[in-house]
A and B are shown apart, each in its own frame.
Chain A
Amino acid sequence: MLNYQSSIKEEKTYSGLIVKEVVPVMKLNLRGKNREFLSTIGKNINMTLPLEANTSSSSDNYTSMWLSPDEWMIISNYTADKENNNYQIEKLLFSKISKTNLGAVTDVSDQFVMINLKGEKIFDLLSTGCPFNFNEFKKKNGAVTQTLLLQIDVIIHLKEINTVNLFVRRSFSEHLMSWIDDAASRL
């Protein structure tokens, strides 16, 4: 038996902001270009992948985020079992997509740490270290962007107004959280 240990241990509360890691969340990276790829994904997860840049789509079980014209990340909307990381949906999609050379399916569940930010000060925090223009972004439910925060690559997903999921590569997460803690203390 292997024990599960997430990167960020505690939930933090600041003025106008709550920060916590959501675990375990299954995350899959999907790559593909043609129509058959899109329809196969659609059929198997019962959701169409967003084709418009910087947007996302969701179903009951999954949220999929546009990352590039041939790349998406889908995440489970519910947390998974800590004692089993054999995800049925990964197996299914791998056999329907990767095995048939329609594209690529890669498990990136722990490649990214998903940090949930809630509160009206989210964008004050982000603009301390991020050159992205959030003026329109923050009004648009489901908006997605890949950018740099503190010169670290991040994916930012506006789940709903004043709720953001921030995805950062796991190895950077401790540093980024320490920075968030510092910056948020001055909001």
Chain B
Amino acid sequence: MFIINCPFCGERDQSEFKAGGEAHIERPKQPTELNDEEWAEYLFMRKNIKGIQFERWNHAHGCRKWFNMLRDTSNDEIKLIYKMGEKSPIE
């Protein structure tokens, strides 16, 4: 059980949150222009890194806001939390 520092509400127990998978995968603006492979890339392909991973989290049982998290999946250390819409600090 992590403690997650919601960028709006502060430190809360993990049970208040929902994980939302990999971050910074933008929905294509013009899906109909994509061929099947390009669309499948957006739809299905996700990294599953042992190590530092960009993730989306939602404070589902608190302020309901989504935010981004940089987490080391090998030891669950949360390196960084930043708001939705803010650019990823590390590329």
CB under 8 Å from chain A, chain B span 22-77: 61-65
Contacting residues, chain B, for A71 (C-beta < 8 A)? 63-64
A148 and B64 in contact, given A53-B9, A53-B10, A54-B9 (Cβ under 8 angstroms): no
| B26 vs chain A, min Cβ distance (A) | 22
Interface size class of A (residues with CB under 8 A): 10 to 19
* B positions within 8 Å CB-CB of A: 8-13, 15-16, 61-65
A153 and B61 in contact, given A131-B13, A131-B16, A132-B12 (Cβ under 8 angstroms): yes
Tell whether, in the assembled complex, residue B12 and residue A68 are in contact, meaning their CB atoms are under 8 Å apart: no
Q: Which residue of A lies closest to B60 (CB)?
A: A153
Q: Is A42 an interface residue (CB 8 A)?
A: no
In the A-B complex, the 4 residue pairs with the closest CB atoms: A68-B63, A131-B13, A146-B62, A148-B61
Chain A 134-148: CB-based contact to B (< 8 A → 1; otherwise 0):
000000000001111
Contacting residues, chain B, for A131 (C-beta < 8 A)? 13, 15-16
Q: Is A69 an interface residue (CB 8 A)?
A: yes
